[in-house]
Amino acid sequence: MFDKILIANRGEIALRIQRACREMGIATVAIHSTADENAMHVRLADESVCIGPPSATHSYLNIPAILAACEITGADAVHPGYGFLSENARFAEILEEHNITLIGPKASHIRVMGDKIAAKATAERLGIPVVPGSPGAVTNNIDARKIAAEIGYPVLVKAAAGGGGRGMKVALSENEIDNALSTARAEAKSAFGDDALYIEKYLAKPRHIEFQVLSDGKGGAVHLGERDCSLQRRHQKVFEEALSPALNLAQREKIGTVVSDAMKELGYLGVGTVEFLYENGEFYFIEMNTRLQVEHPITEMITGIDLVQEQIRIAHGASLGYGQSDVVFAGHAIECRINAENPETFTPSPGLIEAYHPPGGLGVRIDSGVYAGYTIPPYYDSLIGKLIVFGKNRNECLMRLRRSLGEFVIEGIETTIPLFSRLVAEPDIVNGNYDIHWLEDFLDS
């Protein structure tokens, strides 16, 4: 097993990875910017190295500094967490050139799935159903108009390099297509430096349902069921649950098998998430994330499988050692993303946490690095913690979530906790009756 893992991340996910390492008897190295000197992930690590100033470009994205930190501390593997360098194929190659193991997939798989056009073509080749759309990039407006007419309006223009919901524009009719193409092209160019676009059928009322996969790269692969992440704001997930209230066992087994077979065929290594839109009983692949996801704990709660420890084992060369029939789903889990933001305007609210009292009790898990007296720096993502609640069934889970939100005290900054308290009182949420537009409609009303 690895002796020492460097965690190339910060905040709650850095702590989450440390916990997995500690239980496995592996030493941990934290890296941090000057703004994160007092962060919990630095305090709790076995060793820490300051790698640069506050700006992420010069610290958490600074590859030479991270390599130097590996050299200085003698780390033999790097866990990238999510965000930052976690889906950077070049980073994966550089680590390999330096004989440091990336706890993640092969660079080639990161690269192919990072290009959404190539990802879609790969998914299709592997027998995964995809959203009807252009066969590849659309290079001019005449072709685009022809393809859109074939698919049928409304269509969605998307960026091949897209992420975080950017570079996406809907065209409701032929009158809107030129405008959608030019806006999406400009947005993609400025956000990703790559203006390749493709066109997809715009699904009117889908749910976002994603399958967690675990694959050892030598023929062992399982799926760990799905997460329903339909509650989104600006195409960003806010509240997730596992399993989805919209699927039954037969549907889950059918698409889950397609996905795990595809991972075997691909020789995929580690954890991954295959994302679908789901409408009228049909699944449509949209993308694959080749890393651990923010919402992974809800899958851990219903399967009892520690996804980070599995990542570490697989990266070290172990076989999965179990099959699909060994994966048992029990109970229900929900995650609320607690952001340091105004719960109505979503304006970031960094600053000093004056009081902090998290909820507890049976079935309540908090993944967070904050504490009373900690100052949230303004430089990074506003996610400050995740409230994850487990229940024997969905009803118990919702009751426990309501109780936990009522106990949660964070003073000195604004958080999204009041939004979740409103959500759990909504009949549509209680009944599991929502799609990807539900939350924005609710916030608008």
Work out the burial of residue 71: count CB atoms within 10 Å of its CB; fewer than 13 is exposed, 13-18 middle, 19 or more buried.
exposed
Distance in Å, CB of 201 to ligand ADP, minimum: 6
| Pair 7, 31: CB distance under 8 Å | yes
Distance in Å, CB of 165 to ligand ADP, minimum: 4
Closer of 216 and 275 to ligand ADP (Cβ)? 275
Tell me whether residue 233 is one of the annotated catalytic residues.
no
Identified catalytic residue from 10, 291, 313, 400: 291
Cα separation, 256 vs 252, in Å, equals: 6
Which residues, 6+ apart, have CB-to-CB distance to 436 below 8 Å? Answer: 205, 206, 207, 208, 230, 232, 277
Work out the burial of residue 37: count CB atoms within 10 Å of its CB; fewer than 13 is exposed, 13-18 middle, 19 or more buried.
exposed
Closer of 165 and 317 to ligand ADP (Cβ)? 165
Closer of 206 and 297 to ligand ADP (Cβ)? 206
Closer of 145 and 235 to ligand ADP (Cβ)? 235
Distance in Å, CB of 163 to ligand ADP, minimum: 4
Closer of 15 and 213 to ligand ADP (Cβ)? 213
Q: Which of 377, 424, 423, 12 is nearest to 233 (CA)?
A: 423
Which residues, 6+ apart, have CB-to-CB distance to 19 below 8 Å? Answer: 308
Strand partners, 239: 231, 336
Closer of 78 and 436 to ligand ADP (Cβ)? 436
Distance in Å, CB of 314 to ligand ADP, minimum: 24
User: HSE (CB half, 13 Å, CA atoms) of 360?
Assistant: 2
Q: Tokens standing for 81?
A: 């967490």
| Pair 83, 8: CB distance under 8 Å | no
Distance in Å, CB of 154 to ligand ADP, minimum: 9
Cα separation, 292 vs 266, in Å, equals: 18
Cα separation, 442 vs 445, in Å, equals: 5
Closer of 277 and 314 to ligand ADP (Cβ)? 277
Q: Tokens standing for 89?
A: 């194929």
Cα separation, 351 vs 418, in Å, equals: 18
Distance in Å, CB of 361 to ligand ADP, minimum: 32
Closer of 231 and 312 to ligand ADP (Cβ)? 231
DSSP code of 346? -
Distance in Å, CB of 152 to ligand ADP, minimum: 12
What is the binding site for ligand ADP (CB under 6 A)? 131, 156, 162-165, 200-203, 206, 208, 232, 235, 275, 277, 286-287, 436
Residue that has been written with the tokens 């007419």 in this structure: 149
Cα separation, 331 vs 180, in Å, equals: 43
Distance in Å, CB of 229 to ligand ADP, minimum: 7
Q: Which of 397, 398, 404 is nearest to 425 (CA)?
A: 398
| Pair 82, 295: CB distance under 8 Å | no
Cα separation, 137 vs 149, in Å, equals: 16
Please identify every residue annotated as catalytic.
Answer: 291
